[in-house]
Amino acid sequence: MRTAAGEGLEERQNRTMRSLSRRVFPETETVPDDASASIEVTRAQRRRQAVVTEAAALRRARAECAARAGAGRGRRDRQGGEGNLERRREWLTCAAPRA
């Protein structure tokens, strides 16, 4: 059976724990309504930046591929039958993905 003194001790301990908890984990202020809008704006900016980066990478890769294909043309003509295999390899590695 609990005594009156025992209940007082538990209540004091609970109050102390709650106050410590509030100090360590303060309640956050209410989030303003426009905060979610700013998150969406940030996400949209990141998506646009990703699209721009991807487009630049594709342009760069296509330019490198075109440079490799252009540099190997004279050599391919001199190789005879191996040229077809070489062209197929370049096509497989440099071809743009089909939609």
Q: 27-80: per-residue pLDDT in tens?
A: 776 666 666 778 888 999 999 999 999 999 999 999 998 888 887 655 544 555
Q: For position 95, what pLDDT does the model report?
A: 58
66 belongs to a structural domain: yes
Give the angle subtended at the CA of 98 by the CAs of 95 and 99, to the nearest 5°.
Answer: 155
Per-residue pLDDT of 5-22, as tens digits, reads: 567 889 999 999 999 988
Domain, as residue range, for 68? 38-93
Q: Would you say how long the chain is, in residues?
A: 99
99 belongs to a structural domain: no
Which position has the token pair 């724990």? Answer: 17
Q: What would the DSSP string read from start to end of 19-48?
A: HHHHHHSPPPPPPPTHHHHHHHHHHHHHHH
Q: For position 1, what pLDDT does the model report?
A: 45
- The SS3 of residue 83 is helix
Paired tokens of 85 = 């295999």
Compare 31 and 25 and report the one with higher pLDDT: 25
Give me the number of domains the chain comprises: 1
